[in-house]
Amino acid sequence: MSTETNSKSESNLEKVLKSGQFAFTGELGPPRGTDAEEVREKSKFLKGHVDSVNITDNQTAVVRMSSWAASLIAIQEGLEPNYQMVCRDRNRLAMQADILGGSALGIRNMLCLSGDHQQFGDHPDAKGVFDIDSIQLIAMVKQMRDEGKFLSGNDIHQPPKMFIGAASNPFAEPYEWRVHRLAKKIEAGADFIQTQCIYNMDRFREFIRVANEEGLTEQVYILAGVTPMKSVGMARYMKTKVPGMDVPDEIIDRLKGVEKNKVADEGIKIACEQIEEFKEMKGVHGVHLMAIEWEHKVPEIAEQAKVLPRPVFD
Amino acid sequence: MIVANRKPFAEIKEMLQGYHKVLNVGCGTCVSVCLTGGEKEVAVLNIELEMARRLDDDPIDIYAHTIERQCDREYLAELDSLIENEKFDALLSMACGVGIQFLAERYPHIPTFPAVDTSGLAVNQAVGWYEERCRSCSQCVLGFTGGICPITMCAKGLLNGPCGGTNKGSCEISNEQPCAWFRIYDRLSGQSRLDAIKKINVTRGWKDQAPRNLIQPGYKKPEKMAK
Ligand code: SF4
Ligand code: SF4
């Protein structure tokens, strides 16, 4: 793996992956206000159940507590954050400043994203920044970390330590392009990948098969994205309203096939079956569980998916 | 060509509040082709303004004059005597943002107002349909994008697309908006040139963040305007 040669990020997630164990990461959305308690509450459910927790950055272009601030609260709660950063809201100056600040205060993982277009969010008339794109962001963090240089080429006094993450969506067309894009992200410097929520297993198997064939899964750790469906409505919404999401009818039919009060359990069951398959799948190194506004279910899901206890390193 | 859209009538009327003798200057080039600010549109706007002001019991004396190009001194000069003689208390321009500024600059003592919103460099896709194609970024990348501009046509201006939001060939912002990078992929793939986008396009310096001037080799700014 590329990461074995170049970085000691001090990230727990990195240690888990390098030790060859199946990683399990979670997600936490910061509040739409100043209530730190809300972050602490959600953290309790995640602590001890995941190796690292993604802290979303103005997800779906809706303003929330900044992702680095919520990351720090998560650290106080004993979690390891995976600090998400989108290209939509910051230029290269602000990004580099936040990377330095985050690293100084103990953030060790970053997920580099383009970000949903501002048109989706609560400030649709905002000016989208997109000074650099997600691939350029990955390359910038790598340069800062490995060469100790800002994008401008100037030296950084005490470079940041980061385990660099990127996203991948195997379900967006053109499909053949998705593996090339993965290769580009690896070349740019991604250490690990978290994929879009997977529902279409056939398509995902095919994606991983090609990635294996091209040798990409030996150069980067891949965490398969899993989001349990809470309801039939949610499944329908994901299918029709969320760009780049591929929800096969079988999933919806399966949810519809159980009693109303059992739908959420069925959603979790489907997710756990997927996780079982990912554990065995060559080229998949872990699972990223996005239990959106369902943090309190994480202990139960982790239990049911048999990913506990999580490894501990000194 | 440059395209512009007429401002809402209420906004134009509001700007002209308190002015009673106005010259509306059209432009016979781009904005005329896109049916926004040529001779005909000047006439229509003037009638609307006259009627509205008459209803308000606050009549306006509004003149019309369309010149070939408002972004060109030679043509603007045509207006000198008219403006000198008629003593307008305001000018209204239906040219693009460039033309409006040149008009305002030539007659700096007279308030000048825009009657249109300039929206970009576009092609004429069909009668009445103009599609933006260039943001004049000063660093053209069309060479490796198969002749399709990602700066303009990709909603995020990405240089390493398509992003994960691509939706069956549409952009994540709308089913109506084709994904520029999907089209780039398609075109390059048809030309067996996918290698052009398989390599990383590194971060670039934006060249449009400060006012730009173009001075061709062998030329220089005239002394008296240089400052
Ligand atoms: S890359 Fe696009 S915006 Fe830039 S000059 Fe070329 S066409 Fe215009
Ligand atoms: S979907 Fe296509 S056009 Fe839209 S932002 Fe992504 S790459 Fe750009």
**DSSP track, B136-196:** --SS--TTTTTT--HHHHSTT--SS---TT-BTTEETTEEEEE-HHHHHHHHHHHTT-THH
| Burial (CB count within 10 angstroms: exposed 0-12, middle 13-18, buried 19+), residue B75 | middle
pLDDT score recorded for residue A1? 55
pLDDT score recorded for residue B159? 97
Instruction: Establish if A311 belongs to a structural domain.
Output: no
Which residue, among B166, B184, B189, would best test binding to A if mutated, counting the most A CBs under 10 Å from its CB? B166
Residue B124, helix vs strand vs coil? strand
User: Which residue is closest to A88 within chain B, CA to CA?
Assistant: B156
In this structure, which amino acid lies at residue B181?
A: W
Instruction: Establish if A94 belongs to a structural domain.
Output: yes
Looking at the DSSP bridge assignments, the partners of residue B174 are B171
pLDDT score recorded for residue A242? 87
pLDDT score recorded for residue B224? 78
Identify whether the C-beta of residue A309 lies closer than 8 Å to the C-beta of residue A245. no
- Is B166 within 8 Å of A173 when comparing Cβ atoms? yes
In this structure, which amino acid lies at residue B172?
A: E
In this structure, which amino acid lies at residue A163?
A: F
Identify whether the C-beta of residue B170 lies closer than 8 Å to the C-beta of residue B176. yes
- The total of other beta-carbon atoms located within 10 Å of residue A39's CB is 23
Joined together, the tokens standing for residue B101 give: 């500024």
- The total of other beta-carbon atoms located within 10 Å of residue A250's CB is 12
Residue A93, helix vs strand vs coil? helix
Q: Tell me which residue range forms the domain holding A144.
A: 2-304
- Which candidate from A117, A132, A172 shows the least CB-CB separation from B173? A117
Query: Quick one: DSSP state of residue A257?
Result: T
Identify whether the C-beta of residue B174 lies closer than 8 Å to the C-beta of residue A253. no
Cβ-proximal residues to B167 (8 Å cutoff; 6+ apart), any chain: A172, A243, A244, B175, B179
Identify whether the C-beta of residue A45 lies closer than 8 Å to the C-beta of residue A79. no
Identify whether the C-beta of residue A73 lies closer than 8 Å to the C-beta of residue A40. yes
Which of A42, A19, A15 shows the shortest CA–CA distance to A31? A42
Would you list the DSSP string of A240-264? HHSTT----HHHHHHHHTS-GGGHH
Only one residue has tokens 């321009």, namely: B93
Instruction: Establish if B88 belongs to a structural domain.
Output: yes
User: Which residue is closest to B200 within chain A, CA to CA?
Assistant: A184
Ligand 2 mean position, distance from CA A103 (Å): 31
Query: Quick one: DSSP state of residue A202?
Result: H
Ligand 1 mean position, distance from CA B180 (Å): 13
Instruction: Establish if B169 belongs to a structural domain.
Output: yes
User: What is the total count of domains within chain B?
Assistant: 2
B48 and B145 housed in the same domain: no
Instruction: Establish if B52 belongs to a structural domain.
Output: yes
User: What is the total count of domains within chain A?
Assistant: 1
Number of H helices, E strands in chain B: 10, 9
Instruction: Establish if A52 belongs to a structural domain.
Output: yes
B59 and B156 housed in the same domain: no
Q: Whole-angstrom Cα distance, residue A235 to residue A229?
A: 6
In this structure, which amino acid lies at residue A309?
A: P
Instruction: Establish if A186 belongs to a structural domain.
Output: yes
Which of A191, A203, A217 shows the shortest CA–CA distance to A274? A203
Boundary-marking domain end, from B55, B87, B120: B120
B113 and B152 housed in the same domain: no
Which of B27, B44, B33 shows the shortest CA–CA distance to B101? B27
B101 and B145 housed in the same domain: no
Among residues 64-83 of chain B, which lie with CB inside 8 Å of chain A? none
Cα B92 to chain centroid, rounded: 16
Q: What is the dihedral of CA A269, A275, A280, A285, to 10 degrees?
A: 180
Query: Which CATH number is A169's domain given?
Result: 3.20.20.220
Residue A168, helix vs strand vs coil? strand
- The total of other beta-carbon atoms located within 10 Å of residue A275's CB is 23
Instruction: Establish if B21 belongs to a structural domain.
Output: yes
Instruction: Establish if B115 belongs to a structural domain.
Output: yes
Measured between alpha carbons, how far is residue A115 from residues A95, A167, B195, B212 in Å? 14, 11, 26, 30
Joined together, the tokens standing for residue B108 give: 């700096």
Q: How many beta-carbon contacts under 8 Å exist across A and B?
A: 93
* Residue A173 at interface with chain B, using a CB cutoff of 8 Å: yes
Only one residue has tokens 């003037």, namely: B46
pTM of the full structure: 0.95
Query: Which CATH number is B112's domain given?
Result: 3.40.50.2300
Instruction: Establish if A309 belongs to a structural domain.
Output: no
Q: What is the dihedral of CA A182, A195, B179, B168, to 10 degrees?
A: 110
Averages of pLDDT over runs of 10 residues in chain A (314 residues) are: 59 97 97 98 97 97 98 98 98 98 98 96 97 98 98 98 97 95 98 98 98 98 98 95 91 96 96 98 98 93 97 90
pLDDT score recorded for residue A314? 77
B95 and B151 housed in the same domain: no
Any ligand 1 atom below 6 A from CB of B121 = no
Q: Tell me which residue range forms the domain holding B14.
A: 2-120
Instruction: Determine the residue of B132, B156, B159 to mutate for testing ligand 2's pocket, defined as the one with the most ligand atoms within 8 A of the Cβ atom.
Output: B156
Instruction: Establish if A251 belongs to a structural domain.
Output: yes
Instruction: Establish if B93 belongs to a structural domain.
Output: yes
Instruction: Establish if A313 belongs to a structural domain.
Output: no
B21 and B114 housed in the same domain: yes
Which of A163, A58, A26, A60 shows the shortest CA–CA distance to A69? A58
Which of A13, A18, A288, A307 shows the shortest CA–CA distance to A167? A288
pLDDT in tens, chain B (227 residues): 999 999 999 999 999 999 999 999 999 999 999 999 999 999 999 999 999 999 999 999 999 999 999 999 999 999 999 999 999 999 999 999 999 999 999 999 999 999 999 999 999 999 999 999 999 999 999 999 999 999 999 999 999 999 999 988 999 999 999 999 999 999 999 999 999 999 999 998 999 999 999 999 999 998 877 55
Q: Whole-angstrom Cα distance, residue A144 to residue A240?
A: 40
- Which alpha helices (H) appear in B16-95, and where do they start and end? 30-33, 39-55, 73-76, 80-86
Query: Quick one: DSSP state of residue A51?
Result: S
Cβ-proximal residues to B4 (8 Å cutoff; 6+ apart), any chain: B30, B31, B34, B36, B37, B95, B96, B97, B116, B117, B118, B119
Q: Whole-angstrom Cα distance, residue B130 to residue A280?
A: 53
Long-range contacts of B118-127 (CB under 8 A, 24+ apart): B118/B2, B118/B3, B118/B4, B119/B3, B119/B4, B119/B5, B120/B2, B120/B3, B120/B152, B121/B1, B121/B2, B121/B3, B122/B1, B122/B2, B122/B3, B122/B34, B123/B1, B124/B1, B124/B33, B124/B34
Instruction: Establish if A206 belongs to a structural domain.
Output: yes
- Is A136 within 8 Å of B206 when comparing Cβ atoms? no
